[in-house]
């Protein structure tokens, strides 16, 4: 089967920088959806011109509704299970305090997970005396999923995973680990910041909670996070409370607090609401394009990148089998200083990220095979 090497799922009119740069850095910051950026500006300008005439109390109640519904579509969830806040981190922190594993219980994660995924749980473990246990990645940043599953035992309270590891791009089978956690009476909590927008997510597989920010693979703005929580976790007392926590948030009385009977109890305070309008536009575009189509497209161009990098002598990190890979491609270049080489590639208009001692490439649906070939040509020219 032949492919048009110039074909992009996310077109240049939506992502103009894709025409000017070989932008392979979605795992750091995705290119912003042009319509989303416009929606943020429109909200901010209207607020500056008219204040609460443009953004009254009813608008403040309703402004998260569209994003809530879009997030539900992204996770295959019920909208009642979705909470919106200013970032993945604050949502994860509030959830960690709500769950609050006790002394004698364990929180299991991987040594390669992102700090934002696990620091909230470390803070709670430090407070309660619960034990934080690590499944160590090998020198190629790969975690053995069989060994990880074997570490889940009856003392495990929570398994905390990044659905896609930020460094290696390794993907975990969420159903497998949800089932394993539940067999031992534990929860599976997932950070989807590196997967939402590039890998399908289905919470009906048994995931207890999934949180994500919107500025990477969802091509949205900074300043917005979304979280799904299961019906059981919708009944817990969140770790962060604020004026939005009451079920009737405009009934300002400090001497009462009745939490909503759904995930909205995890929404707690004022945020930069314009980002929610922008995030809605970007998530809507992702959903209309189709996550399955994006995953297939990204896999094809990432495979092309891996083949080309191996041909240039690069060491590819992460799992060898495609079933456990995403569009994140981490590489070391023998004989080259990664920090210096990353800067050289940037000067050659190939945008990727230096991470530790490797360079991380992360093409997305606004990229095509021609982008990959241009990037490979630049790498070859400077090796």
Name the residue ranges covered by the structural domains of the chain.
17-24+290-382, 38-288
Rounded to whole angstroms, the Cα distance separating 198 from 295 reads: 5
Residue 375 has pLDDT above 50, yes or no: yes
pLDDT average, residue stretch 192-200: 98
Rounded to whole angstroms, the Cα distance separating 88 from 106 reads: 22
pLDDT band at 259 (very low <50, low <70, confident <90, very high): very high
Instruction: Decide yes or no: CATH 3.90.650.10 for domain 38-288.
Output: no
Phi, psi of 53, deg, nearest 5 = -65, -40
Q: Are 306 and 319 in contact (CB under 8 A)?
A: no
Alpha carbon of 177 to those of 108, 162, 188, 380: distances in Å? 11, 12, 7, 40
Position 3 scores a pLDDT of 60
Rounded to whole angstroms, the Cα distance separating 300 from 292 reads: 12
Position 6 scores a pLDDT of 82
Phi, psi of 83, deg, nearest 5 = -125, 145
In CATH, which of 3.90.550.10, 3.30.420.40, 3.80.10.10, 3.90.1150.10 is domain 17-24+290-382? 3.90.1150.10
Residue 223 has pLDDT above 60, yes or no: yes
Phi, psi of 177, deg, nearest 5 = -80, -25
**How far from chain centre, in Å, is Cα 130?**
26
Q: Are 365 and 9 in contact (CB under 8 A)?
A: yes
Question: What H or E segment, with its residue span, contains residue 132?
Answer: strand 131-135
Position 103 scores a pLDDT of 98
Rounded to whole angstroms, the Cα distance separating 163 from 216 reads: 14
Within this chain, domains 17-24+290-382 and 38-288 share the same CATH topology: no
Residue 90 has pLDDT above 90, yes or no: yes
Residue the block writes with tokens 């990220």: 353
Average pLDDT, the chain: 95
Position 62 scores a pLDDT of 85
Position 12 scores a pLDDT of 79
Position 32 scores a pLDDT of 97
Rounded to whole angstroms, the Cα distance separating 126 from 121 reads: 9
Bigger pLDDT: 16 or 323? 16
What string of DSSP letters covers 318-338? S-SSGGGB-S-EEEE-TTS-H
pLDDT average, residue stretch 64-69: 92
pLDDT band at 329 (very low <50, low <70, confident <90, very high): very high
pLDDT band at 1 (very low <50, low <70, confident <90, very high): very low
Rounded to whole angstroms, the Cα distance separating 355 from 9 reads: 27
Question: What H or E segment, with its residue span, contains residue 358?
Answer: strand 358-361
Tokens coding 305: 């990148």
**How far from chain centre, in Å, is Cα 264?**
20
Residue 293 has pLDDT above 50, yes or no: yes
């Amino acid at each position: 089967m032949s492919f048009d090497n110039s074909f992009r799922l996310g077109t240049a009119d939506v992502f103009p920088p894709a025409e000017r740069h070989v932008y392979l850095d979605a795992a750091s910051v995705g290119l912003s959806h042009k319509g989303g950026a416009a929606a943020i500006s429109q909200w901010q300008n209207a607020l500056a011109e008219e204040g609460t005439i443009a953004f009254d109390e009813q608008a403040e109640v309703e402004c998260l509704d569209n994003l809530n519904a879009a997030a539900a579509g992204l996770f295959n969830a019920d909208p009642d299970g979705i909470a919106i806040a200013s970032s993945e981190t604050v949502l994860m922190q509030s959830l960690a305090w709500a769950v609050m594993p006790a002394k004698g219980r364990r929180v299991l994660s991987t040594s390669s997970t992102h700090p934002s995924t696990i620091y909230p749980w470390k803070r709670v473990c430090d407070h309660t005396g619960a034990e934080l246990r690590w499944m160590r990645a090998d020198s190629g940043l790969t975690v053995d999923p069989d060994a990880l599953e074997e570490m889940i035992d009856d003392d495990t309270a929570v398994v905390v995973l990044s659905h896609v590891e930020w460094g290696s791009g390794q993907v975990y089978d969420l159903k497998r680990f949800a089932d394993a956690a539940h067999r031992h009476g534990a929860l599976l909590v997932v950070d989807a910041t590196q997967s939402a927008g590039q890998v399908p997510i289905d919470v009906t597989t048994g995931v207890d909670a999934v949180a994500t920010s919107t500025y990477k693979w969802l091509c949205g703005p900074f300043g917005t996070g979304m979280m799904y929580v299961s019906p059981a976790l919708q009944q817990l007392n969140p770790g962060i409370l604020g004026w939005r926590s009451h079920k009737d948030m405009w009934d300002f009385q400090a001497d009462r607090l009745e939490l909503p009977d759904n995930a909205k109890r995890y929404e707690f305070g004022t945020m930069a609401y314009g980002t929610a309008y922008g995030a809605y536009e970007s998530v809507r575009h992702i959903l209309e394009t189709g996550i399955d189509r994006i995953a297939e497209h990204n896999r094809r161009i990432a495979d092309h990148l891996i083949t080309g990098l191996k041909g240039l002598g690069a060491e590819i990190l992460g799992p060898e089998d495609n079933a456990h890979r995403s569009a994140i491609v981490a590489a070391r270049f023998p004989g080259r200083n990664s920090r210096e080489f990353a800067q050289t590639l940037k000067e050659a208009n190939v945008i990727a990220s230096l991470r530790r001692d490797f360079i991380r490439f992360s093409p997305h649906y606004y990229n095509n095979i021609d982008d990959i070939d241009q990037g490979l040509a630049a790498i070859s020219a400077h090796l």
